[in-house]
């Protein structure tokens, strides 16, 4: 939890208020873009419809995602301005639990925001933050939006892309990456593109993925592969959509 926040923990909408507070702070610190505020509002409305809790199908997706990250040759957790504001320390913990790299990759890329986000992540314990080298390109995306690190997202086999715009999610999938997407909107193109769509709030999803990864630390390759194979992406998307429509 953030140090400065003064939201009473017993407030019925504590989590939602905390999320807003972190995004607001992110904008003030030059981490989150103004468009990030709109993305946050969109996410919040879907979370409200989902009952502001992790669906059993989302928990299964988080388990599969943890197994997939552990199986990866080279996994990268992609960070944008919203993710950096909402779960900086939690992403560092997930990277530690799975051996993944962290890379800043922005939709609205500016050098100032890149630097502010990298500094913010280092303040939360990240030792190595990729994305600043920007010596490779995601094919099909125009110049600034397509910049990535050759040693990072460009060469990764598994990429976690939370709260991502549909074009970028599609372009990464076309590069042959195994994509894990966290997005509260099950109808959005990004989760529909993903091998593992996680329809959950990133504030709940990332710590739960880390808990699963820690539980799986001693699992064999076969056990991890069985978890990934048993995961049903269509069912996950359908269950989230039904949960929203049945409200």
What residues make contact with ligand PTJ under the rule CB under 6 A?
A: 19, 33, 35-36, 39-40, 42-43, 46, 80-82, 86, 106-108, 163-165, 182-185, 188, 201-203
* Smallest gap from residue 230 Cβ to ligand PTJ (A): 24
Q: Rounded to whole angstroms, how far apart are CA atoms 32 and 45? A: 19
* Smallest gap from residue 46 Cβ to ligand PTJ (A): 5
* Smallest gap from residue 206 Cβ to ligand PTJ (A): 9
Choose between 203 and 224: whose C-beta lies nearer to ligand PTJ. 203
Cβ-based burial of 38 (10 A; exposed 0-12, middle 13-18, buried ≥19): exposed
- C-alpha Rg value of the chain to the nearest Å: 17
Residue 43 has a CB neighbour count (10 Å cut-off) of 22
Choose between 91 and 106: whose C-beta lies nearer to ligand PTJ. 106
Choose between 162 and 224: whose C-beta lies nearer to ligand PTJ. 162
SS3 216: coil
Burial profile 197-221: b = 16 or more Cβ within 10 angstroms, e = fewer: bbbbbbbbbbbbbbbbbeebeebee
* Smallest gap from residue 32 Cβ to ligand PTJ (A): 6
Choose between 224 and 239: whose C-beta lies nearer to ligand PTJ. 239
């Amino acid at each position: 939890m953030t140090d400065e926040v003064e939201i009473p923990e017993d407030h019925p909408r504590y989590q939602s208020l905390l999320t807003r507070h972190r995004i607001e702070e992110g904008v003030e610190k030059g981490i989150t873009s103004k468009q990030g505020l709109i993305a946050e509002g969109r996410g919040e409305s879907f979370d409200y419809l989902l009952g502001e809790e992790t669906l059993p199908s989302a928990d299964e997706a988080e388990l599969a995602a943890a197994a997939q990250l552990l199986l990866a040759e080279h996994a990268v957790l992609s960070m944008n301005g919203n993710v950096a504001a909402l779960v900086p320390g939690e992403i560092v913990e997930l990277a530690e639990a799975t051996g993944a790299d962290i890379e800043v990759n922005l939709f609205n890329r500016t050098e100032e925001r890149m630097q502010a986000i990298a500094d913010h992540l280092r303040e939360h314990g990240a030792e190595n933050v990729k994305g600043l080298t920007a010596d490779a390109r995601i094919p099909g995306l125009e110049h600034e939006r397509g910049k990535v690190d050759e040693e990072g997202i460009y060469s990764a086999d598994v990429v976690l892309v939370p709260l991502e715009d549909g074009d970028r999610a599609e372009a990464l999938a076309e590069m042959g990456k195994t994509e894990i997407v966290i997005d509260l909107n099950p109808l959005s193109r990004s989760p529909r593109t993903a091998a593992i769509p996680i329809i959950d709030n990133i504030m709940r999803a990332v710590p739960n993925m880390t808990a699963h990864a820690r539980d799986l630390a001693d699992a064999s390759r076969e056990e991890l592969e069985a978890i990934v194979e048993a995961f049903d992406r269509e069912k996950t998307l359908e269950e989230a959509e039904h949960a929203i429509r049945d409200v």
